[in-house]
Structure 1
Amino acid sequence: MSHQKWSDDQEYLSYVQDLLDQPAVQKLANYTQHHHSTRLDHSISVSYRSYLLGKKWHLNVRALARAGLLHDLFYYDWRVTKFSLGTHAYVHPRIALRNAEKLTDLSAMEKDIIIKHMWGATLGMPKYKETVVVSLVDDYAAVDEYLMPQLHKLAHPFHRLEHAHE
């Protein structure tokens, strides 16, 4: 995969800049996602990684970039807020879709990506390869965002001990 930074990728930005300019999307920076990241950082990560895979595999990169960015467009702390309608895995994609539809017109593929990005934790089968990509990238990003800082913290005390005697 490319090591280019998302903010320097003009093609990627051509697909998502209008969304990134929206206060409703920028507001995601106010919410912690996986302990060590904001929901905006997480959404950009999922969006850009999905877009890069889509380029490699000749998929719909516009849908991957846009729906990837909007897949978690909700404004509550999922560790605290609970719903009587079902689990967070079931409820938040529906809230994200409703919020995304207020911002922009969505294709059928983009709607499928957003509503089914929790595939595996929910029952709705993806209709498109792009939906599977975003779902798997979202899982990868969640593990990466949560686990890598934890592993770094675990390794860090040993690193300090090694250098304490220098």
Structure 2
Amino acid sequence: MYDNWQNDQIYRDIVDDLLAHPEVQELANYTQHHYSDRLTHSIDVSYRSYQLGLRLGLNATALARAGIVHDLFYYDWRETKFELGSHAFIHPRVSLRNAEKITPLSEMEKDIILKHMWGSTWAMPHYWESLLLNLVDDWTAITDFFNPVKDHLRTLKTLRKIKY
């Protein structure tokens, strides 16, 4: 369902200008949650949030656009440490600053980006869209992390069915 974002022309009309930016394409060079890259993760979060936003009658455009840039930072979060706070606290602010350099953002989009780590930070979402993207981001991180385990178990199951 969520793998088909390339064929969803309405979604593409909303996000293609962002995806065309070299700053966004650069995210493909950074590992995210061990087994995926940050660009793939951002597209997954964006499209899942967009789809759910449509179903729930929320601002799907803001969800799609903020989802693409919610992790627009250029460092390995497992290695880089900050004096001002944790990665969970710092990177939404860095991402917002970087996103504002490449596109105008609505107040809702800004809130979505800044609050996407709610739960790890105290910054409460002001919009349902912010809460939704936060939950989708968490879900995507969990599934990204456990996909190799799922694939390994599927391989073992297949091997058991093969008769030698």
State how far apart, in whole Å, the 2-side matches of 1:118 and 1:36 are: 20
Q: Deviations over 1:83-117 (max 9, x none)?
A: 11111100000000000000000000000000010
Alignment of structure 1 residues 17-166 onto 2, 5 Å? 17-157=16-156, 159-160=158-159, 162-163=161-162, 165-166=163-164
Q: Quick check: 2:50–2:61 contact (8 Å CA) kept in 1?
A: yes
For the residue of structure 1 that corresponds to 2:35, the secondary structure is: coil
Unmatched 5+ stretches in structure 1:
none
State how far apart, in whole Å, the 2-side matches of 1:94 and 1:64 are: 17
State how far apart, in whole Å, the 2-side matches of 1:155 and 1:86 are: 40
State how far apart, in whole Å, the 1-side matches of 2:157 and 2:95 are: 42
State how far apart, in whole Å, the 2-side matches of 1:56 and 1:79 are: 35
For the residue of structure 1 that corresponds to 2:31, the secondary structure is: coil
Unmatched 5+ stretches in structure 2:
none
User: Quick check: 135-144 or 154-163, which moved more?
Assistant: 154-163
State how far apart, in whole Å, the 1-side matches of 2:3 and 2:146 are: 23
Deviation at 1:149, TM superposition (A): 1.5
Q: Quick check: 2:2–2:48 contact (8 Å CA) kept in 1?
A: no
Query: Aligned AA for 1:14?
Result: D
TM-score by length of 2: 0.95
State how far apart, in whole Å, the 1-side matches of 2:113 and 2:126 are: 12
Percent of residue pairs identical: 56
Q: Deviations over 1:138-164 (max 9, x none)?
A: 00000111112123224534543553x
User: What count of residue pairs does the alignment treat as equivalent?
Assistant: 164
Deviation at 1:36, TM superposition (A): 1.1
Deviation at 1:33, TM superposition (A): 0.2
